[in-house]
Amino acid sequence: MFIRSFLFLIILSGCSSFQEIKSTIDFDGTFTNSDKFHLKRCLSKVEANFKLYDLDINEFAENITSEGLEFNTKVTARLNAQIGDSDEILIMESSRINTTNYISSNMAEEESKKLRKLILNDFCNSLLKNV
């Protein structure tokens, strides 16, 4: 009895984690694993093939005080994409401004990751509009 219940739970959990993938997304070496996961999850419901390459994300410091403690950062990004079998290259750009002034490197790193995800969301929405 216990083995049947346990087997049922294994089968049920395996079926619930199954996700149908309708598209193919090719990445070059400029993407981190986190970037790939985020974009695959965002574009998983679309039945189109994507080739994404040349992701370039830069952070710039602005408004540094004379003490060098308070500053704002601007994050800019650029991505090239091809959708389907088209030879047309879609060049996308996005930018975000971080207005929080974290001195702690851990907090600044978390804020940087958050801005990176927001920029990837911008790119994903742009790709979805162009399908």
Residue 33's CB is within 10 A of a number of other CB atoms, namely: 8
**CA distances (Å), origin 91, targets 24, 52, 55, 124:** 19, 10, 10, 13
Can you tell me whether residue 9 is helix, strand or coil? helix
Give domain limits for the chain. Answer: 21-129
pLDDT tier for residue 63 given thresholds of 50, 70 and 90: low
Q: DSSP secondary-structure letter at 21?
A: -
% residues pLDDT > 70 (the chain)? 69
Question: What gap in Å lies between CA 110 and CA 98, rounded to an integer?
Answer: 12
Q: What is the pLDDT of residue 37?
A: 93
Asked whether the predicted pLDDT for residue 110 surpasses 70, the reply is: yes
Residue type, 52: L
Q: What is the pLDDT of residue 103?
A: 61
Structural class in CATH, domain 21-129: alpha beta
Residue type, 114: K
Q: What is the pLDDT of residue 69?
A: 59
